[in-house]
Amino acid sequence: MLSKNKIKLIQSLNRKKNRDETGLFLVEGNKMVEESLRSEYLIETLVCTSAFLDEHPGINTQAFELIETDSETIQKASLLQNPQDALALVKQPKNCKSEFNLDQDLVLALDFIQDPGNLGTILRIADWFGISTLVCSENTVDSFNPKVVQASMGAIFRIKTWYTDLPLFLDEANKAQIPVYGTFLNGNDIYKETLSRNGIIILGNEGNGISEQVGQYVTNKLLIPSFSTNENKPESLNVAIATAICCSEFKRR
Amino acid sequence: MLSKNKIKLIQSLNRKKNRDETGLFLVEGNKMVEESLRSEYLIETLVCTSAFLDEHPGINTQAFELIETDSETIQKASLLQNPQDALALVKQPKNCKSEFNLDQDLVLALDFIQDPGNLGTILRIADWFGISTLVCSENTVDSFNPKVVQASMGAIFRIKTWYTDLPLFLDEANKAQIPVYGTFLNGNDIYKETLSRNGIIILGNEGNGISEQVGQYVTNKLLIPSFSTNENKPESLNVAIATAICCSEFKRR
């Protein structure tokens, strides 16, 4: 049975303050819950229907609190419009820098990404292109926001997100002579530039691009050229689209 | 003054049936209305504040019905959560094939794209990469849906969308020996394939990819390879992300 208090807890995870206090985040929908069960993340509570349990006979029901209920009750607790047969409360992993090595690895650095859908899509792109870590400015939307989690289509369980003082991080990268890339209107054509295997690609805010404070650490300015021949040229690409094109260019070579 | 009937008309354009009947679509927000004024599209009605008019002294106020009102009234009529100082009722252009030539041009063909945000983003990508036309299956979401229009960030005014019987169109392309590309899990690595300057790139449905009925006309199967080394590999890329990577690969060469 799903208590009123538990429903309150589930719904409270819509707010960062409550996620921080409990150390939990919310995962909804059969496919996403399956991903969480397969992942290394620790599940605290699984709420699901008996049908879901029947379909997943391998679940170690001793490993966490299991609450069996009906789909109407899950619907009541859910933040989604079309909830399914399962939701899970999952422990947030520790926010940790030690897992990448900038002498070898390529990471993405996010400068004030605001839209949860964009962050979820960027996680999914990083996952596809084998990029293990997103370094996020402290004002970037929280990666455990339920909308980010859902938009990531499971990538949240494979990609590390590390929130830190981005200018400080980039300053250290500059001192260590790690290449720092960012896209700018006056950058060099990404298709013609030599791109290194390691380093940092900065992705800027949806409306304003890379901030001045962060931009000063960029060592290699890139441009994704437009092929439009229209008089009214498009002004910009969506940040997730620019991320995809950058990752594709860095990884294909 | 904005009459009740006009407000009703504005809001009715949320539905395709009403857009079809009136031949109009709705454009909201200062930036999008500016784009509509700069475009070749015919404006039927401009609803805006006096501040908007002051900021745009070049507007030919004889060319359409002009309704000056306050922002509270615009808010009342608007479908947006944060409406601004202007909205416009714009005439839909004719749905027309004659504007591209497959012996020279590259076009995108959309097979049952359902999400308005995805279609808007695909329009924006086409705009950036100088692709003039989207050929859409009849079950693809309407490009004059207000959510598509807003997500296109103005691309709707520069990119033609043509709704047609997609299998029939592709059958003709096959007969004319036009290359037809599509991404499949068993396709050839897009980074290594020779890609032609002209032809058709098919983009499939969000959940199911390219349908069997449409897939049979593909002459060149492509794959965007994943670089993930994770045990649980990501299953797919979002369709707009795949579109961006395809367009980037076709255009950069």
The domain total for chain A is 2
- How many angstroms away from the CA of B2 is the closest CA of chain A? 31
Which of B39, B245, B247, B249 should we substitute to test contact with A (largest number of A Cβ atoms within 10 Å)? B245
pLDDT of residue B201: 98
Instruction: Determine the Cα–Cα distance for residues A79 and A27; give it in Å rounded to an integer.
Output: 10
Whether residues A74 and A176 share a domain: the answer is: no
Residue A99 belongs to a domain: no
Whether residues A113 and A221 share a domain: the answer is: yes
Residue of B nearest to A129 (CA): B227
- The region of weakest confidence among A17-26, A56-65, B46-55, B64-73 is A56-65
pLDDT of residue A60: 84
Look at residues A91, A122, A152 and tell me which one is the last residue of a structural domain. A91
Residue B38 belongs to a domain: yes
Q: Would you call A243 helix, strand, or coil by DSSP?
A: helix
Residue A30 belongs to a domain: yes
Query: Can you give the length of chain B in residues?
Result: 253
Helices (H) then strands (E): counts for chain A? 10, 10
- B232 shares contact with chain A (CB less than 8 Å): yes
Whether residues B77 and B121 share a domain: the answer is: no
Whether residues A220 and A114 share a domain: the answer is: yes
A125 vs B contacts (CB less than 8 Å):
237, 241
Whether residues A85 and A115 share a domain: the answer is: no
Residue of A nearest to B120 (CA): A238
pLDDT of residue A126: 98
Are the beta carbons of B204 and B237 closer than 8 angstroms? no
Look at residues B34, B56, B91 and tell me which one is the last residue of a structural domain. B91
User: Does the pLDDT value for residue A96 go beyond 80?
Assistant: no
Name the residue among A128, A230, A240 with its Cβ closest to that of B226.
A128
Q: Which residues in A157-182 are b (16+ Cβ under 10 Å) and which e?
A: bbbbbbbeebeebbeebbeeebbbbb
Whether residues A184 and A80 share a domain: the answer is: no
**Once rounded to an integer, what is the mean pLDDT over residues A23-31?**
96
Residue span of the structural domain in which B30 resides: 4-91
CATH number at residue A79: 3.30.1330.30
B125 vs A contacts (CB less than 8 Å):
237, 241
pLDDT digits (tens, 9 = 90+) for B7-26: 999 999 999 999 999 999 99
User: Does the pLDDT value for residue A230 go beyond 80?
Assistant: yes
Whether residues B84 and B111 share a domain: the answer is: no
Whether residues B80 and B183 share a domain: the answer is: no
Whether residues B47 and B166 share a domain: the answer is: no
User: Which of these, B132, B156, B153, B130, lies nearest to A235 by C-alpha position?
Assistant: B153
Mean predicted lDDT score pLDDT of chain A: 95
Whether residues B80 and B176 share a domain: the answer is: no
User: Does the pLDDT value for residue B61 go beyond 90?
Assistant: no
Residue A135 belongs to a domain: yes
Are the beta carbons of A232 and B157 closer than 8 angstroms? yes
**Long-range CB contact pairs, B33-39, < 8 A, 24+:** B33/B86, B33/B87, B33/B88, B35/A232, B35/B154, B35/B157, B36/B88, B36/B90, B36/B157, B37/B88, B38/A232, B38/B157, B39/A232, B39/B157, B39/B158
Only one residue has tokens 């422990």, namely: A91
pLDDT digits (tens, 9 = 90+) for B125-180: 999 999 999 999 999 999 999 999 999 999 999 999 999 999 999 999 999 999 99
A9 phi and psi angles, rounded to 5 deg = -60, -45
CATH number at residue A127: 3.40.1280.10
Do B244 and A249 count as a contact with CB atoms less than 8 A apart? Answer: no
User: Does the pLDDT value for residue A65 go beyond 90?
Assistant: yes
Residue A57 belongs to a domain: yes
pLDDT of residue A82: 83
Name the residue among B125, B158, B251 with its Cβ closest to that of A241.
B125
Instruction: Determine the Cα–Cα distance for residues A251 and B66; give it in Å rounded to an integer.
Output: 52
Whether residues A132 and A248 share a domain: the answer is: yes
